[in-house]
Amino acid sequence: MSYRMTIIIPVFNEIDNLDRIYSTFTDYFSKSKTKSKVLFIDDGSTDDSFHRISEICLDNPDFEYLKFKENCGLSTAIKAGIDHINTELIGYIDADLQTTPYDFDILLENIDNYQAVIGYRGKRKDTLSKKIQSLIANSIRRSLINDGVIDTGCPLKVLRTDVAKKIPFFKGMHRFIPALILLQNGKIKQLKVQHFERIAGTSKFNIFNRSLKALRDTFAYRWMRKSYINYTIEESKIS
C-alpha cells in the first residue's frame, strides 16, 4: 500500500519532544485508515535534534527528513517540505504536539470535497501571555484581510499537494496558507480539533513575531491579493 499523505513536522531545537513524536506517530500510523508518513524538516537545530531525527528515520521507513544547513524559519521549512513531497496529500503539525495527529483523521474525512481542511483550537491550553499575543495577531489579521479563517495559528492542516505546490511562499506566509488557497479559488473547511499544553521544549514565538511581524506579513498578503494572477484555460492546441 503506497502512502497517501506526507506530514511535515518542522523541527528547531525540539530534542525533548522527538521521542514523544516518534511513539505518538507510530501508534497513530498503526490505527489510521490513511497510509501516511512523516517528513521532518530540521531547521538548523543546534541541540541534538538532528541526531535523534536521523536515528528515528534509520529505524523506521515511515519517517524521513530534510536537514537545513542553517536556521531559515518556519515558512521556509514548510516550503521545503511541500517542494519535496509527491504524495496526494500534505499534512502539517507542529513538533510541540499541542495538537494531536489522531485528529488528522477528522480532517481527512472531509478532504475529498475541499482543497484544504484545517483545524481550529476549540479550548486552547496556552499561557495567558500567549493567548493575548495570539488574540492581538488574529484581531489585526481579521481586520485587514477578513478571510473567514477562525484560527490561523492552528498548525493542524491537510492540503491537496497539487494546490499546496502553487502557493506563493515568502517569509511569514505560513500564517496565510488557507487565505492563499482561497486566492486560487480553492475551497477550505474548518473543523474543531483538540489542543494541549506544551509539556516539553520552549516556544519559538513572542510578542514580536506574533504581532509585529504578523502585521507586516498581513500587508504583504494584502498586496499579493490585489495583484494575484488567476486564469482558467478553456481550450488549447499545443504541439
Give the range of the structural domain holding residue 57, as residue numbers without chain letter.
Answer: 5-124+152-202
Q: What does each of the 239 residues of the chain score in pLDDT, given as a tens digit? A: 699 999 999 999 999 999 999 999 999 999 999 999 999 999 999 999 999 999 999 999 999 999 999 999 999 999 999 999 999 999 999 999 999 999 999 999 999 999 999 999 877 666 666 666 667 666 776 667 777 788 878 899 999 999 999 988 777 788 888 888 988 889 999 999 988 776 775 665 545 555 567 677 777 777 777 777 676 777 777 77
State the pairing for strand pair 116-121/63-67.
Answer: unpaired
Asked, for residue 212, whether it belongs to a domain, the answer is no
Nearest to 134 by CA among 146, 120, 145: 120
Task: At 202, list the grid cell.
Answer: 520552549
Asked, for residue 80, whether it belongs to a domain, the answer is yes
Asked, for residue 28, whether it belongs to a domain, the answer is yes
- The count of domains in the chain is 1
Count of C-beta atoms within a 10 Å radius of residue 222: 12
Asked, for residue 47, whether it belongs to a domain, the answer is yes
Asked, for residue 134, whether it belongs to a domain, the answer is no
CATH number at residue 107: 3.90.550.10
Asked, for residue 171, whether it belongs to a domain, the answer is yes
Asked, for residue 100, whether it belongs to a domain, the answer is yes
Asked, for residue 30, whether it belongs to a domain, the answer is yes
- Helix 49-59 vs helix 15-31: angle between axes, to the nearest 10 degrees? 20
Question: 80 φ, ψ to 5°?
Answer: -65, -40
